[in-house]
Amino acid sequence: MASRTISDEDLLDKALGLFRTSGFEGVSLSDLSKATGLEKASLYYRYPGGKEEIALAVLQSVISWFEENVFLPLRTEDISVRERVTFVAARLYGFYGEGTKPCVFDVLSVPGGGAAIAETLKAAMQAWLQAFTGIALEGGFAPDEAERRAEEALITVEGALVLCRALQDPAAFRRAVDRLPELLVKK
């Protein structure tokens, strides 16, 4: 029963599922082993840095997803500014499982994962903020107002996900996502 190999992509996807719901400290190598079908030693072969390196790779894969599905579409001028925001809102709605799946940026920002994770996280949030600021500028707001609204939009997404998790009810996330176009595009 040799090589029950799993692709890096699938592996990180399984790991993402664990980390985003249980957090860094809440996930053990045994959990990762069970979820991926790889023994612990095999996980160390692929990620010599252990759990921290896996979490960091998860984070980077999520950042790639954002670049492709959020940051890039917001800059793509094929469609109107409002349509871009609506498109991205739909992507985010899916990525967060209609409000049922926590934000890995939020959950992994709880200390325990080490400095590399904290710094990667910080950069990711800054990039997200910048992307929202950019579209708000294109949406017709003055620079200061655009920054304010980008921050409010990001707060809305993250805050709604916290609310949904605590209330055990995803409904607030639907309403939050629906607010994004009004927040980022001037009428």
Q: Burial of 2 by CB count in 10 Å (0-12 exposed, 13-18 middle, 19+ buried)?
A: exposed
166 binds its own copies (CB under 8 A): yes
156 binds its own copies (CB under 8 A): yes
Return the one option of its own copies, DNA, none that residue 37 interacts with (CB less than 5 to 8 A, by type): DNA
Residue closer to DNA by CB (options 49, 140) is: 49
7-36 mask for DNA (x: CB under 7 A)?
--------------------xxxxx-----
Return the one option of its own copies, DNA, none that residue 106 interacts with (CB less than 5 to 8 A, by type): its own copies
Among residues 5, 169, 26, which one has the least CA distance to residue 110? 26
110-129 mask for its own copies (x: CB under 8 A)?
xxx-----x--xx-xxx--x
DSSP letters along 104-140, please? HHHHHTSTTS-HHHHHHHHHHHHHHHHHHHHHHHHTT
**Phi, psi at 38, each rounded to 5°:** -105, 140
- Report in angstroms how near the CB of residue 78 gets to its own copies at its nearest: 30
- Residue 166 to residue 3: CA distance in whole angstroms: 41
- Residue 150 to residue 147: CA distance in whole angstroms: 5
Sequence-distant (6+) residues with CB within 8 A of 36 are: 6, 10, 11, 14, 15, 43
181 binds its own copies (CB under 8 A): no
Return the one option of its own copies, DNA, none that residue 140 interacts with (CB less than 5 to 8 A, by type): none
By CB under 7 A, name the one of 14, 20, 51, 149 that touches DNA: 51
Return the one option of its own copies, DNA, none that residue 50 interacts with (CB less than 5 to 8 A, by type): DNA
Helices (H) and strands (E) in the chain, counts: 10, 0
Return the one option of its own copies, DNA, none that residue 77 interacts with (CB less than 5 to 8 A, by type): none
- Report in angstroms how near the CB of residue 17 gets to DNA at its nearest: 16
Positive or negative, the Cα torsion across 61, 66, 68, 69? positive
Q: Which residues bind DNA (CB under 7 A)?
A: 1-6, 27-31, 37-42, 44-46, 48, 50-52
